[in-house]
Amino acid sequence: MRREDDRRSAPRWRAVLEARWRIRLQELTELSMAYHGAASDDSDDRRARRLLHRAVAARQRLADTEEALGRVTAGVFGRCEQCGALIPEVLLAAAPESRYCARCAGAATGPLTAGALATDTGTAAAGTASAGTLATGAGRR
């Protein structure tokens, strides 16, 4: 029964993740271009380093989303990688890239759960990239 439910919701999660993937790809592209612009300007070293840092984080988030899409394909999306329990829908809605249930995530404080979104907020506040703000908004809903 549960298994069927999982399968039924898979296309929905795939659509959600693909939308996030596109946003993150755009965010990464914008950050990369901004970085290369800043890096070619010698006087703007600090800004370049900050942008590089954000681009690296954006690339990691993109990779997280790709991995989550891979889990949808493999039919294991929404299951805790640690204990195999179903990850609560509400947690997935907030962060579909979550790999662990709340209990395991709390024990491990994995970088791929809510923490990644919190980082998002920090970088968006610093920033120029509207895509970052968008991604955070999508994650919070």
Q: Under the rule (CB under 5 A), what is the footprint of Zn ion?
A: 80, 82-83, 85, 101, 104
Nearest approach, Cβ of residue 20 and Zn ion (Å)? 22
Query: Which is nearer to Zn ion, 51 or 80 (by Cβ)?
Result: 80
Which residue lies nearer to Zn ion by CB, 24 or 99?
99
Backbone angle region of 23, left / alpha / beta, with phi > 0 → left and psi within -120 to 50 → alpha: alpha
Q: CB 118 → Zn ion: shortest distance, Å? A: 20
Q: How far is CA 117 from CA 43, 65, 112, in A?
A: 31, 12, 9
Cα gap 20→5, rounded to integer Å: 23
Kindly state the smallest distance separating residue 81's Cβ from Zn ion, in Å.
Answer: 8
If the CB atoms of residues 65 and 113 are measured against Zn ion, the closer one turns out to be: 113
Least Å distance between CB 72 and Zn ion?
18
By beta-carbon proximity to Zn ion, the closer residue of 87 and 117 is 87
The amino acid that residue 62 corresponds to is: L
CA Rg value for the chain? 16
d(Cα 30, Cα 98) in Å, to the nearest integer?
A: 25
> Do the beta carbons of residue 55 and residue 35 sit within 8 Å?
yes
Q: Which is nearer to Zn ion, 57 or 80 (CB)?
A: 80
Minimum distance from residue 103 beta carbon to Zn ion (Å)? 5
